[in-house]
Amino acid sequence: MGDALVQSATIQLKDQGGGVFGSKVVPDLPTSITLTGAGFGSIANPKPSAWDTFNDYAGLINGDEIPDTTNDFWESTNNGTNGFPYVLDNTDTIGRGFSAKLTGKKGWLNNIKPRAGGSPRIVASSYCTFYMKFNEALDSPPQPGTGSNKICRVWDNSNGMGTRTSYMPHTQGFFFYKYGGTSTPVLTIHASPWPSDNNWVDVAEVGKWHRVELFQDAVSGVQLYEDGKLISDTSPDYATMQKDPTYPAIPYYLAQLGHDISQSALVNDTLRQWIAEVYESPHGLARVELSNDLTFDTSVEQRRFYQLVDSWSDSEITINNAFYGDLDAGSTVYAHIINSSGSLIQTLEVN
């Protein structure tokens, strides 16, 4: 290959039984990867703070309800009388054994918990990524297309005061609520709509897995990616939004993920939702992703999969359980190494 960024990765094969519980091993692709080179930087503990691949619920099988209490990964999954429970689903996944399927029209996963072995949360920033799909469009029949369809909320204070960010499909915009010590907003930003070619919940896109990435920085604002593409807006508020100074020592965290609509009456009973591959990281935009694309490009949509990195030094990165999602195993797979600012460091060929 002529691209100077492309080198060969050192590959270490593991026994096929060594993968994560419930995972699918993609044929002819290594489950363990070592990336070697120079100038990677270093991260003492590169793992995210929290994550859920929905494949670590020991003893549960397809159709079993994900526990609402005594859950190691979420504070709750039922949300009382307003929401429906999630179940493990092995019939509609994105490359692992299970996804999480919502059994009713409304519900969300509440407050992702830090994982053992993960990095501590930090005040400065939070990066969240997940895959989601719906069986019907949120803005077209049989759904009424009204109400605020929040599907991801990042907070810093669990009592509802402080900085609050709510991501919604672009037809209804992207809301920021910034509170002081009372329930009266001191700053409210509503920037909408998103570009029309990025509505992943419209009729043409339902039934497909789509990825969302939300990066929130205490000083430099917010970046949103849909299916790998950076979504921009004419409002300058995205770059200037800062963390509420009332709570300077409380880190951002993924507070809600799912379908939190303003009123249950605004959604019909036929709507269903799936979630997969949820990660929350304190390392800025630093990450390793696998794709079938030689070029890492956030100006276009790309299918890329976030990796759980086990070690990260300036010259070597190890991934003990590589995740390929639905990438084409018959084509070249590339590893993109990205720094904390979101810029590409290097692209390495995996197979």
Residues in the chain, pLDDT under 50: 1-26, 192-198
The full DSSP string for 162-189 is SEEEEE--GGG-EEEEEE-SSSSEEEEE
Q: Which CATH number fits domain 6-45+287-349: 3.30.200, 2.60.40, 1.10.760, 3.10.350?
A: 2.60.40
pLDDT at 231: 78
Residue among 80, 83, 82, 57 nearest 70 (CA): 57
Question: What are the start-end ranges of the H helices in 79-138?
Answer: none
Supply the pLDDT for residue 6. Answer: 43
70 exposed, middle or buried (CB, 10 Å; 0-12, 13-18, 19+)? Answer: exposed
pLDDT in tens, 89-107: 999 999 899 999 999 988 8
Range(s) for CATH 2.60.120.200 in the chain? 50-281
Residue 238: enclosing H or E segment and its boundaries?
Answer: helix 237-240
Tokens of 94: 């994105």
Cis ω for the linkage preceding 142 (within 30 of 0) = yes
| Total length of the chain | 351
Residue 222 identity: V
Distance of CA 143 to the CA centre of its chain: 25
- Give Rg (Cα) of the chain: 20
For position 175, what pLDDT does the model report? 60
What is the pLDDT at residue 137?
Answer: 84
* Cβ atoms within 10 Å of 29's Cβ, excluding its own: 18
Q: Which helix (H) or strand (E) holds 239?
A: helix 237-240
Q: State residue 22's pLDDT score.
A: 39
Summarised one tens digit per residue, pLDDT across range 320-349 is: 999 999 999 889 999 999 999 999 999 999
In the chain, ranges of CATH 2.60.40 domains: 6-45+287-349
| Torsions phi, psi for 30 (to 5 deg) | -70, 145
CATH number of the structural domain 50-281: 2.60.120.200
Strand, helix or coil for residue 6: strand
In angstroms, rounded to a whole number, what is the distance separating the alpha carbons of residues 59 and 64? 10
Q: β-strand 344-349 against 6-8: which pairing, if any?
A: parallel
Quick one: pLDDT at residue 33? 97
